[in-house]
Structure 1
Amino acid sequence: MVDARPMQIGELAERTGLSIRTLRHYDEIGLLRPSARSEGGFRLYTADDESRLLLIRRMKPLGYSLEQMGELLAVVDGLSASPADPVLTARLADIRDEAQRRREDLRRQLAAADEFVSQLEAR
């Protein structure tokens, strides 16, 4: 059963491994806005907000800028509203292709790092 209870910022930070400071920054720049605010003004996040944040977090190791992350989220949001939009579908395919290229670059870097560590261990 999914917990439908809204989370405060500290719980979301703990669940996602990101800092409260990062979450506040994402709110300030519009990357991840809380779904609601408590009567006391505390940010409240939903499971959908958590999923969105995890998508953002998964982009970080691939070297995406905050602007690029925002663009991807706009495409995802647009496709949620209009799943058959050909422009958004094409843009998502472009983003996916770029992510695969970035992943391959990381794979090559990791292989080089493994070789380096092996050489050090052989000495």
Structure 2
Amino acid sequence: MPGPVPGGPAPASAPGATGRPSGVGPLMRIGEAAERVGLSIRTIRHYEDAGLIVPSARSEGGFRLYTDADVERLAVVKRMKPLGFSLDEMRALLAVLDALATAGTADRPALLDRLGLFHTVAATRVEALREQLRTAEGFADTLRHQLDQHRVHH
């Protein structure tokens, strides 16, 4: 019987997995995580090298093993990318989100302020993308009009 495929799904109870809290659901290999979030394996490895994501565990054979929470974190990074956030900005936002999950009442206001700044930047960048889209749609409409005009006259 052939062994597991590298990058394929890992069994729910991966032997030799380390650092896995009990009850977090099945662990998955990088290929399944990539498929779930819609990123390439290469991109996930790049994000790992950049310190944005750390696999929750490794199999006995050294394969990266990811939890649903890891995949959710990758989804956050994926959604920041089209807004032009740098790796440093991504790291900073992820740190705020991580800190908010366990923050005490004394730390929450400052963290929420930082999160609010990220929201403002994201909203501004979304509006800039909308404007670019309107410009691009206008250009495509102009080309369509040119096509229609020249087809009728020739």
Sort the TM-score into its range (normalised by shorter chain).
Answer: over 0.9
Residues of 2 paired with 1:77 and 1:83: CA distance?
A: 12
Counterparts of residues 1-123 of structure 1 (less than 5 Å)? 4-82=25-103, 84=105, 85-123=108-146
Root-mean-square deviation (CA, aligned residues, Å) is 1.2
TM-score by length of 1: 0.94
| 1:48-94 deviation line (CA, Å, top 9, x unaligned) | 00111001000011111111101100000010110641111100001
Residues of 1 paired with 2:75 and 2:109: CA distance?
A: 26
Q: Percent identity?
A: 52
Cα gap change, 1:111 to 1:83, in 2 (>3 Å): farther
Stretches (4+) displaced over 2 A: none
Residues of 2 paired with 1:4 and 1:12: CA distance?
A: 13
Residues of 1 paired with 2:133 and 2:44: CA distance?
A: 29
Residues of 1 paired with 2:82 and 2:50: CA distance?
A: 20
| Between structures 1 and 2, the one with greater helix share | 1
Residues of 2 paired with 1:106 and 1:40: CA distance?
A: 44
User: Structure 2: 5+ residue runs without aligned partners?
Assistant: 1-23, 147-154
SS at match of 1:44: strand
SS at match of 2:32: helix
TM-score by length of 2: 0.76
SS at match of 1:4: coil
Residues of 2 paired with 1:75 and 1:25: CA distance?
A: 21
How many angstroms does 1:24 deviate by? 1.1
Residues of 1 paired with 2:133 and 2:104: CA distance?
A: 36
How many equivalent residue pairs? 121
SS at match of 1:40: coil
User: Structure 1: 5+ residue runs without aligned partners?
Assistant: none
How many angstroms does 1:19 deviate by? 1.0
